[in-house]
Amino acid sequence: MINQERIKNLLLELVRIDSVSRKERDVAERIKQICEEMGAEVEIDDAGEKVGGNTGNVIARFAGTIPGAEPIMMSAHMDTVVPGEGVKPIVDGDIIRTDGTTVLGGDDKSGVAVIIEAIRCLHEQSIPHAPIDAVFSICEEVGLLGAKHLDLSKVRAKYGIVFDSDDPGFLFTKGPSANHFEFKIFGLESHAGVAPEQGISAIRIAAEGLAAMKLGRIDDVTTANIGVIRGGEATNIITNLVSLRGEARSLDEDKLNAQTEHMIKCLTDAAEKYEVTVEGVTTRGRVESEVTREYYAMDVPDSSRVVQLVLGAASRMNLEVRTLASGGGCDANIFNRKGIECANLGTGMRAIHTVKEWLDVKDMYASAEMTLEIMRLNGEMARGTAEG
Ligand SMILES: [Zn+2]
């Protein structure tokens, strides 16, 4: 059994420590201290320097008690979204929320608390276990930057669990690839009243391109959105520049590529319809497209060791955990790409990224109990392998 009072108090302590992305140092130092007191060898990598933050990822290596057992990773991110400074958690029975001026930061400090509590219990109850690499990342919320820059030489594990989703009854094993778009549409500036025929409106091109563009839910595994549009200075100027920012995601790489090409083509086709010649100089509408890959899809099979562990532990507890696909990305997308096979287990966080964020501690307790059972089962399997 886990210690409910202790994990709740740890969560309350952690959410009170400010740690918006790139400013995670205070919480990183606290987590480092806790893990060292628990006997881990703790290092902070140089990811912070690479991303302009004030600390790197915290990597706490805990020794195992089973000779020859393979290390397992447990990971959660330390950063929160804004508004996330000065969190005043309000405890109302089993529900923890904020005063409505900030997020709670249960995303993902509940994950941090689950990991630490589970390891404490392994130690206290002398449960045989494999070595554990606890990875507490920075800058998950601003493009998975901590995971992307994680110093892998400090991590031994080749598989593990990320604790960064809501319902402990779900294990996310699939997640999309995502592209980020920056489009610049160029027209030709001219006076709207005096010489409209000598201008090309970038706003018009953007409108036509967007009207032709498939957006929203494209198919059962693909989504796309234009989220920002900017352009124009005055009503009497034909606008020569509009910028658009958007994204597309898909579980299927080919479908993501097709959607990306489709979006570029819609804008390019619209731009190419416009051409003016002024004093012998011909100008055409044109589009500059910048596509960056945010992250790659993850697809962990049900037969994988980590999924079998989680499902096995759940069934021993008479709980049902279902694997499913997420529409978003998390550190697990990056870890899988880096060769650490991992899935994302829920911790109880709700209404995340809003000032209404809340958490039912019973969910967090369930997540921690399951994690303890996962580590116990993992130890039994490792011993079985070692002895067999
Ligand atoms: Zn998160």
Q: Which domains does the chain show, CATH number per domain?
A: 4-175+297-387 (3.40.630.10), 177-295 (3.30.70.360)
In the reported structure, the alpha carbon of residue 158 is separated from the centroid of ligand 1 by a whole-number distance in angstroms of 22
In the reported structure, the alpha carbon of residue 31 is separated from the centroid of ligand 1 by a whole-number distance in angstroms of 17
Tell me, what's the pLDDT at 76? 98
Tell me, what's the pLDDT at 185? 98
Tell me, what's the pLDDT at 387? 56
User: What do you get for the CA distance between the two ends of the chain, in Å?
Assistant: 29
Tell me, what's the pLDDT at 328? 86
Q: Would you list the DSSP string of 276-331?
A: EEETTEEEE-EEEEEEEEEE--EE--TTSHHHHHHHHHHHHTT---EEEE-SS--H
In the reported structure, the alpha carbon of residue 192 is separated from the centroid of ligand 1 by a whole-number distance in angstroms of 48
Q: Which of 45, 107, 133, 140 is catalytic?
A: 140
In the reported structure, the alpha carbon of residue 203 is separated from the centroid of ligand 1 by a whole-number distance in angstroms of 36
Catalytic annotation on 140? yes
Catalytic annotation on 108? no
Task: For residue 262, count CB atoms less than 10 angstroms from its CB and return exposed for 0-12, middle for 13-18, buried for 19 or more.
Answer: middle
CA distance 10 to 76: 15
pLDDT range class, residue 123, cuts 50, 70, 90: very high
In the reported structure, the alpha carbon of residue 232 is separated from the centroid of ligand 1 by a whole-number distance in angstroms of 36
Distance of CA 312 to the CA centre of its chain: 26
Q: Write the DSSP symbol of residue 16.
A: T
CA distance 347 to 114: 7
Q: pTM of this prediction?
A: 0.89
Q: Is the pLDDT of residue 166 over 60?
A: yes
- Once rounded to an integer, what is the mean pLDDT over residues 76-96? 97
Nearest to 197 by CA among 285, 287, 275, 267: 275
In the reported structure, the alpha carbon of residue 354 is separated from the centroid of ligand 1 by a whole-number distance in angstroms of 12
Nearest to 143 by CA among 229, 219, 50: 50
Q: Which of 45, 79, 108, 369 is catalytic?
A: 79
In the reported structure, the alpha carbon of residue 328 is separated from the centroid of ligand 1 by a whole-number distance in angstroms of 10
What percentage of the chain exceeds 90 in pLDDT?
97
Residue range 223-257, pLDDT digits in tens: 999 999 999 999 999 999 999 999 999 999 999 99
pLDDT range class, residue 386, cuts 50, 70, 90: low
Tell me, what's the pLDDT at 89? 98
- Once rounded to an integer, what is the mean pLDDT over residues 300-327? 95
Q: Is the pLDDT of residue 311 over 90?
A: yes
Average pLDDT, the chain: 96
Do strands 281-284 and 275-278 pair parallel, antiparallel, or not at all (unpaired)? antiparallel
Residue range 338-364, pLDDT digits in tens: 999 999 999 999 999 999 999 999 999
pLDDT range class, residue 327, cuts 50, 70, 90: confident
Residue 247, helix vs strand vs coil: strand
Q: Bin 204: left if φ > 0, else alpha if -120 < ψ < 50, else beta.
A: alpha
H-run or E-run covering 209: helix 202-212
Q: Is the pLDDT of residue 162 over 70?
A: yes
Q: Tokens 């249960």 map to which residue?
A: 106
Q: Is the pLDDT of residue 144 over 80?
A: yes
Tell me, what's the pLDDT at 336? 96
Q: How far is CA 69 from CA 72, 120, 250, 310, in A?
A: 9, 19, 36, 18
Task: For residue 259, count CB atoms less than 10 angstroms from its CB and return exposed for 0-12, middle for 13-18, buried for 19 or more.
Answer: buried
Tell me, what's the pLDDT at 385? 73
Q: Which residues contact 329 (CB under 8 A, 6 or more apart)?
A: 144, 175, 176, 178, 249, 294, 295
Q: Is the pLDDT of residue 67 over 70?
A: yes
H-run or E-run covering 155: none
Residue 274, helix vs strand vs coil: coil
